[in-house]
Structure 1
Amino acid sequence: MPSPDVLIWGLPLAFLAGFIDAVAGGGGTITLPTLFLMGLSPAHAVATNKLLAIFGSGSATLQYGRAGHIDRPLVFRLIPLALAGSALGAYLVHFVDPDVFRNLVAAVILGVGLLVIVNKSFGLEDRYPGLTPKVLAATLPGALIIGLYDGLLGPGTGTFLMFLFALQGFNLVRASGNARAINFATNVGAFFYFLFQGQMVFWIGLPMGLANAAGAFVGARMAMLRGSVFVKWMYAGIVLLVAARLLFH
């Protein structure tokens, strides 16, 4: 086990990850490698990462929810499917070649980022039509598939969710709020799964979780203050970070 002095650099990185994740997703691409560098085994790092992620995603969800940037009727319908997909992904992880899957997802997320950047108006205006059959036909299977990816690999789950919501007409601030809410639910589900396995390192996960929550608070407030243009460029940067994390793990 690492010594307590790893928190000297672990806490600032957890804060940064919370800030980034609250704006555009992808915070796990920072926290998970940080936990590995601290000396945790893969099992302990993954479990502890879910512990601290609850704090960050919960903090961001609270901020977006208070400001009215979460569409509860839609999100509440998607959470069960995202949870089911995540559980299925965790089961299938033993039957899938992770390297092939990482390369495929990296290509997909780069394509998503390119589409967001090239389409100058994408995600800047709120054109969400409401809870229509067309919206449900796109988001219900989308939540299941992204949840499955979360259970299999995880990096960039929030980024994919944001894209799913932006495709339905949400501006990127509201898309981020909805994505954080679903991410929080899947993190809670994963937390209980890992909790019963006894692999969480609480003396690392709890303080880093508080730092992650503080970063998420600042990030969510910044996203709402600066608007969708700010979120869009942060999103583009996170897409590159997630792709690099998948390709050069």
Structure 2
Amino acid sequence: MIEPWLYPTLTAVAVLTGFIDAIAGGGGLIMMPALLVSGVPPIMALGTNKLQSMCGTFVAMGNYGRKGLIDWRPSLPTAALVFVGAGAGALLVQSIDAKWLALVIPLLLLANAVYVLVSPRMTDEDAHQRLTSRGYAPVGGAIGFYDGFFGPGTGSFFTSTLVALRGLGLTRATALTKFLNWTSNVASVLLFALGGKILWLLGLSMAAGAMLGGWLGSHTAMKFGARLIRPLLVVASVGLTARLLWGWLAS
């Protein structure tokens, strides 16, 4: 039973997480603990969080798309594999314990933070691509699977690999990340919904906040570009690393 006062409180939290997700990802670092502290069971918290995240990401994606920052057609093969991967991950996480990932993922997030901090590619300038859009599709599918199965840091992984492998400038990589992240969220929400793992009234209330946050965050990212996105990616990665390690040690 969710206390009535938690609806406006978690909706306000969703504004903040939607803002963060639209720029650098990592909003789950705040939202998941907030849901768990509110008494939402872990698997229901995952499904409900995916619903609000899907709505916030959709608004951010639309804003980036209207500015011409997303190449839709070349990205469709990647989006398709992301959808399939996320669906498979969401199915799997409902049947097994994902706690072992809490030790491995912090190491990947820390490596991601170091790459973002020191790589000369982390600017708004496009660079030489190491993979074509089709070549990147399996990478996107693997990240999609991870998002459906576990999730923290997905946006950072998408953005960093799009810069490193596709040669996209940081703002364009962030924009495409929203499309791929939204795709994985749609797949996850469908699977969680079929499994009855979403608190719909709470999730839709939070979605309204996430949409406002996504709108504000995407406009902010487009205004300030790499000089804002880069430090926030580092902060998000390091913050997620600390949070996951703390959870692993505490358990």
Per the normalisation by structure 2, the TM-score is 0.90
Q: Deviations over 1:88-136 (max 9, x none)?
A: 32344478763332211110110111111122x3221322568x8x324
Q: Which residue of 2 aligns with 1:243?
A: 241
Q: 1:198 to 1:100 in 2, by over 3 A?
A: closer
Q: Which residue of 2 aligns with 1:163?
A: 160
Q: Which residue of 2 aligns with 1:32?
A: 32
Cα-Cα RMSD: 2.0
Q: Which residue of 2 aligns with 1:142?
A: 139
Q: Which residue of 1 aligns with 2:21?
A: 21
Equivalent residues of 1:172, 1:228 under 8 A apart: yes
Q: Which residue of 2 aligns with 1:212?
A: 210
Q: 1:204 to 1:24 in 2, by over 3 A?
A: same
Q: 1:188 to 1:173 in 2, by over 3 A?
A: same
Report the secondary structure of 2:132's partner residue.
helix
Structure 1: distance between partners of 2:108 and 2:97: 17
What's the offset of the Cα at 1:232? 0.4
Equivalent residues of 2:85, 2:145 under 8 A apart: yes
Q: 1:173 to 1:50 in 2, by over 3 A?
A: same
Q: 1:200 to 1:99 in 2, by over 3 A?
A: closer
Q: Which residue of 2 aligns with 1:196?
A: 194
Q: Deviations over 1:35-64 (max 9, x none)?
A: 111111122211211211121110110011
Q: 1:5 to 1:194 in 2, by over 3 A?
A: same
Q: 1:74 to 1:28 in 2, by over 3 A?
A: farther
Moved over 4 A (4+): 94-97
Structure 2: distance between partners of 1:195 and 1:152: 15
Equivalent residues of 2:48, 2:198 under 8 A apart: yes
| One-letter identity of the residue aligned with 1:67 | K
| One-letter identity of the residue aligned with 2:148 | G
Structure 1: distance between partners of 2:66 and 2:24: 18
Structure 2 portions without partners, runs of 5+: none
Q: Which residue of 1 aligns with 2:57?
A: 57
Paired residue total: 246
Equivalent residues of 1:123, 1:170 under 8 A apart: no
Structure 1: distance between partners of 2:19 and 2:145: 25
Structure 2: distance between partners of 1:74 and 1:196: 31
Report the secondary structure of 1:98's partner residue.
coil
Q: Deviations over 1:145-204 (max 9, x none)?
A: 111211221111111000111112211111111011011111111112122223322221
Report the secondary structure of 1:248's partner residue.
helix
Structure 2: distance between partners of 1:94 and 1:195: 12
1:74 and 2:79 equivalent? no
Q: Equivalent of 2:179, from 178, 181, 185?
A: 181
Q: 1:50 to 1:160 in 2, by over 3 A?
A: same
Structure 2: distance between partners of 1:97 and 1:210: 31
Per the normalisation by structure 1, the TM-score is 0.91
What's the offset of the Cα at 1:237? 0.6
Equivalent residues of 1:17, 1:215 under 8 A apart: yes
Equivalent residues of 2:90, 2:149 under 8 A apart: yes
Percent identity at matched positions? 30
Q: Deviations over 1:75-96 (max 9, x none)?
A: 2120111112223323444787
Structure 1: distance between partners of 2:135 and 2:109: 18
